[in-house]
Structure 1
Amino acid sequence: MDVDEKSHKKEAGRKKRRRSNKEEQVVEDQESKPGKRKKTVTDPASEVDSKELTSPNKEIEDDDEAGVSTEESPAKGPKKPSKRQIKKEKLERKIAEQKESSKLEAAQKAITYVSKWKHAKSDWKFEKLRQIWLMDHLLDDNLVPDSIFPIALEYFEGCKGMARQQLVKKMMEVIKKVEEQLASNEDETEVTATSEYSRARQILQALPTET
């Protein structure tokens, strides 16, 4: 074999090796690129098993969280009154108590007044305010009890002038109201049995007639 032929074969061998190396390099480059990687094929059955194992736990956790949030959420109670409202209510109670105390005190003074007129006239003296109070409360059996009413009735038997006119007007209004109730077919026994009606009739009968 001559020199030219040997040189030609060597050159052909070198070209073949270079071509082989290039092909290997191209394959390596393709495998190293992220976009060119082949997707891993997974078994569908294994995916189903995985979901079945994880899903129930998540649902239980969700239920637990929902239960905890329901139990821990505080129930809304009644709204507490403000300090201003408490202060206002306290003041109203105090005023009501003072009025009641004042009313009872006035009642006691009026009872003492009319009792002295009956049993101790030497110690009694006329007081217009006590007389006016009695005129305004004669029909109230809580303030003028039944034990005192006959004495008060006797006291007003001799009243004249403006006091008599006021008493007559007040008692007539009570009786007229009862008559209107009777006209509306209400129970006669129940209406006429009231303490106010009975006392009003007794006062009218006890008052002196005008001359």
Structure 2
Amino acid sequence: MGRNKKRKSEKNQNIHQSKEDLVVTESNTLSDSDEDTNRTLAKEESNEISDGKIMKRPLEHESENSDVEDEPKKRKKKKKTPAAEESATTGKKNKISKRQMKKEKHAARLALEQAQVKNQTKTQCLNYLSQWKHDRQNWKFMKARQVWLNKNKFSTQLIPEASWPILLEYFESAKGNIKTLLLNDANQIIKQMDEWTESQTNKDAECDKEQSESTELVKPDKTVYNRARSIIQCLQE
């Protein structure tokens, strides 16, 4: 009996010892595995840091927001105000094309050339008239100069008052077609003045105002009227 008890106690001790050994080995294996995992993680982190790239695991809410933010935002088109639209249209209208600018420059150049030609013709004709008066020996008759003088005889801008007595003396000896032209033009001015004066006297009479306004005549210039009278008196004597 005593031997059996000793055997049982030895067995119990051995079983207990074996259990403790199993617990120690399991704890050692667990600790070893944890150390291995920690080492691998440390290596991976060190590799990522050495490469200069630290990868972060996106959180659930960050991933959802990133999907929303990645979508392109639609910009609303601003409606143009009527003032802006008018300024844009007027700006386009006010822009002058190169062709239009060339046309305007060409027209301005032509107008300047024509004015220069007219001024040159005026000086030539007045010199022609002055030479007839003061230097008749060297003077020569020119049909074009005489036509110009006849055409512009009533113009105070082209034939000034200082040159008018010489022109009247020049036309005093006119004969044929030029004489008839001078008289017809002068009589037309006299007739126009007579009609105007008659219309002024009839304004006081009882008549329709609209009719009188529609038939209103223009009064000839006083200088033109005096030149017409002097031509008639000079050629009819």
Specify if TM > 0.5.
yes
Contact residue 189 and residue 220 of structure 2 kept, 8 A: no
* Cα deviation 1:64-112 (Å, max 9, x = unaligned): x97x976xx5833452222222222222222222222111111111100
Shift in Å at residue 194 of structure 1? 2.3
Secondary structure of the residue aligned to 2:200 is coil
Report the counterpart of residue 179 of structure 1 in structure 2. Answer: 194
Identity of aligned residues (%): 35
2:145 matches 1:134: no
1:108 to 110, 113, 123: 123
2:139 equivalent to 1:121: no
CA offset digits 1:128-186 (Å, max 9, x no partner): 11111100001101010111111111111111111100111111222222222222218
C-alpha separation between the residues in 2 aligned to 1:180 and 1:81? 49
Q: d(CA) in 2 for partners of 1:205 and 1:83?
A: 58
Is 1:118–1:151's contact at 8 Å kept on the other side of the alignment? Answer: yes
Moved over 3 A (4+): 73-78, 190-193
Q: How does 1:58-69 map to 2 (within 5 A)?
A: none
The answer to whether the aligner puts 1:162 opposite 2:190 as a matched pair is: no
The Cα shift of 1:192 comes to 5.8
Q: CA RMSD in A?
A: 2.9
Question: Runs of 5+ in structure 1 lacking a partner?
Answer: 1-61
Q: Name the SS of the counterpart of 1:81 in structure 2.
A: coil
Within 5 Å, give how 1:73-88 maps onto structure 2. 75-76=87-88, 77-78=90-91, 79=93, 80-88=95-103
* Structure index of larger Rg: 2
Instruction: Give, in whole Å, the separation in 1 of the partners of 2:107 and 2:115.
Output: 12
Deviation (angstroms), 1:208: 4.3
- For residues 107 and 223 of structure 2, what CA distance do their matches in structure 1 show? 31
Q: Specify the alignment match of 1:194 in structure 2.
A: 222
Where does residue 150 of structure 1 map in the other structure? 165
User: Cα 1:91–1:174, aligned 2, differ >3 Å: closer, same or farther?
Assistant: farther
- Contact map agreement 2:192 2:220 (CA 8 A) in 1: no
- How many residues get paired? 143
Residues 208 and 113 (structure 1 numbering): CA distance in 2 closer, same or farther, change over 3 Å? farther
Shift of the alpha carbon at 1:199? 1.1
Give the equivalent residue in structure 1 for 2:34. none
